[in-house]
Chains A and B, each alone.
Chain A
């Protein structure tokens, strides 16, 4: 019995490490690895880091600031108008939403969108602490993402 437990523990650690560090440069169909309610990259630190990079490059901070919200709603709080699950955030990004969220389907690949999904969800602590990114190399806007507590998603009414 003890040997089986040890094997299980080692296997669990191994797979946890393996998925967190997997670097899938070429991932044409990420949703095939969907794990509801999170998304294919919710256990993948590298993809979440890529999402952080995309957040700046696609100028998401233009409306959402660094999660605090401005013209767009805050992303680092627990309130979600259209759902906090991976597929719902994915839909928000790709198809846009009322009140000004643009549709990025023509500008992002699916892999990039899922990476953004992972990052956006990490802002409110939905991702495991070892997967969420640390601080970035910009001016600090708050606690590093990986140090934020998990804020349980709450349905927010429409404005």
Chain B
């Protein structure tokens, strides 16, 4: 498996995540202070001896009561003020997050399925549009407008290092604007329980400078790589003759079903099966042979392909870079 991407809200790589991190640090600092003060008061109060003029079962003398009332009152006032400050900090951060405008943004359409991410890069020229799955590439420093749609149940798009999560709700398309400010690989997950394989509905975001991103986009626009060897050629014919074409598309062949992930450049991804298996021939082969083994309940049926054919098919798919 290729190196895992960073997956932490505490290691922000995008402006949204960065601002949230700062807000969180503020809240955390206040919380630690409050904890120390309150628990400190409790410990000190526990250790204080009972005074002579405080017999059991009776209220404390009036001067003690008055002093305690003043302290409790002040503590309450300080609490209110602190909470108001925290509220203002939160609202300010919220508005800053919303101010990331989608001007010059790269639009990406993401459709959540059970249990995979369908990713499209739309283009005014329709033959330049790109469809892929699992691995999203975005340019460094440019806002990205994610248009989120659900195909079936509620999912949630979340890449902790880059920014907030957003639910994909059927019937309610929504938009999330992110901007990545550091290059690298960042992992994400579906963050709304969506059924049997919710745990394995992963995604990966690769942030690269504009030039590398455009190169990747160009590569993705090209139709599938032609088979170079006889075995790859045979693998392609196995693909086209079998169950695969009922659901999967490979641009440049006669397979164009959109039920399952697009496989045109599947060999170029850092992992397969939504990030649960490494992208090598052996894993591809075992995945097709028995998807239920790796992901019980997944919608993909077993391949129903003989051993020799399976080897060639895996070789062919692996070659689709």
Contacts and interface: CB of A to CB of B under 8 A. Distances in A.
Interface of A: 23, 25-26, 28, 53, 57-58, 106-109, 111-112, 137
Given A25-B296, A25-B297, A57-B259, A108 B246 contact: yes
A130 B296 CA distance: 25
Contacts of A28: 302
B247 A57 contact: yes
A109 B243 contact: yes
B247 A109 contact: no
Given A25-B292, A57-B246, A111-B301, 8 more contacts: A25-B296, A28-B302, A58-B246, A106-B243, A107-B242, A108-B246, A109-B243, A137-B152
11 contacts: A25-B296, A26-B290, A26-B293, A53-B299, A58-B246, A106-B241, A106-B242, A107-B243, A108-B246, A109-B304, A112-B301
Contacts of A109: 243, 301-302, 304
B197 to A, nearest CB: 10
Nearest to A109: B301
A137 B153 CA distance: 10
Interface residues of B, number: 19
Contacts of A57: 246-247, 259
In the complex, the 3 A-B pairs of residues with the closest C-beta atoms, listed nearest first: A109-B301, A26-B292, A107-B246
B interface SS class: loop
Contact of A107 (B245, B292, B293): B245
B184 interface: no
A108 B243 contact: yes
A39 B87 CA distance: 61
A35 B77 CA distance: 74
Contacts of A58: 246
Contacts of A108: 243, 246, 301
B173 interface: no
| Candidate in A23, A26, A28, A108 with the most chain B CB atoms within 10 angstroms | A26
Contacts of B302: 26, 28, 109
Contacts of A137: 152, 170
B158 to A, nearest CB: 24
Nearest to B114: A53
Contacts of B246: 57-58, 107-108
Contacts of B242: 106-107
B247 to A, nearest CB: 7
A127 B8 CA distance: 49
B19 to A, nearest CB: 37
Interface in B223-255: 241-243, 245-247
Nearest to A110: B304
B316 to A, nearest CB: 18
Contacts of B243: 106-109
